[in-house]
Amino acid sequence: MLPLVTAIVPVLRGRVFFGVPTRTPRFVLTFDDGPDPATTFALLDVLRRHGARATFFLIGERARAHPQLVARIAAEGHEIGNHTWRDEPTWRLPLAEFRENLRATQQVLRAHGPVRWFRPGSGWPTPRHLAIAEQEGLRCVLGTVVAISGSGAGTATTARWLDPLVRRGTVVVLHEGPQRSRVPDTVDGLLERTARRGLTAVGLSELA
């Protein structure tokens, strides 16, 4: 595990992005670990029905395997972020391997549009990993509110308890994939609830 002091220094220096100070009635929905046919199609349908936009943090090898899904994400006005090449803890990777994985993911994703944001796998990056991402032109973003139940996708009650935690500038973190079939329902319920409070979901760059 990362030493607490080492891990928290980048946070104190403002290098890790958690939320957006804003007066506009908007928040950010983000999804990790896609794209995946098991969930991405349904997620996009839910977002379109609500007129919402989101930021998808995509795994490089999965994006390469499903270019049609990445193309649809971009075509429907959503933002794409770099979630490294494989679903593995970023902080464990040797620095040279991490840089190579980050660049390989960028190469796949940039075919579909600009990529500004990076989210480390399995939590925190080390300061050295963070520095590499910054050298590659990427800003690290974690989130304000994270769904833990349902392997990060949510359950039947997740939208209800997430709703009061979502405020202006909140960054919500959810996960998708074959073991996370409830995530479209979670998003559907959350967007219904936040809309009643006058909040709109947008892409990260629209607020940041």
pTM: 0.93
What average pLDDT does range 24-29 have in this prediction?
97
Residues of the chain by 3-state class (helix, strand, coil), percent to 5: 45, 15, 40
Query: Which residue(s) pair with 37 in the sheet?
Result: none
DSSP secondary structure string, 129-144?
HHHHHHHTT-EEE--S
CB atoms within 10 A of CB 110: 12
Mean pLDDT of the chain: 92
Buried b (16+ CB within 10 A) or exposed e, 76-109: eebbbbbbbbeeeebbebeeeebbebbeebbebb
In this structure, what are the phi and psi dihedrals at residue 130, rounded to the nearest 5 degrees?
-60, -40
pLDDT confidence bin for 123, thresholds 50/70/90: confident
What angle do the packed helices 127-135 and 95-109 form, to 10 degrees? 40
pLDDT of residue 3: 45
Domains of the chain, with CATH numbers? 4-8+32-207 (3.20.20.370)
What average pLDDT does range 152-157 have in this prediction?
95
- Answer left, alpha or beta for residue 186, where phi above 0 means left and psi between -120 and 50 means alpha: alpha
Higher pLDDT, 34 or 11: 34
pLDDT of residue 13: 52
Q: Is the pLDDT of residue 8 over 60?
A: no
pLDDT of residue 12: 40
Whole-number percent of the chain with pLDDT over 90: 86
Q: Per the omega criterion (within 30 degrees of 0), is the bond before 35 cis?
A: yes
| Identity at 181, one-letter amino acid code | S
pLDDT confidence bin for 125, thresholds 50/70/90: confident
Distances (CA, A) of 126 to 15, 131, 152: 12, 9, 23
Q: pLDDT tens digits, residue range 170-196?
A: 999 999 999 999 999 999 999 999 999
Q: Mind telling me the catalytic residues?
A: 32, 175
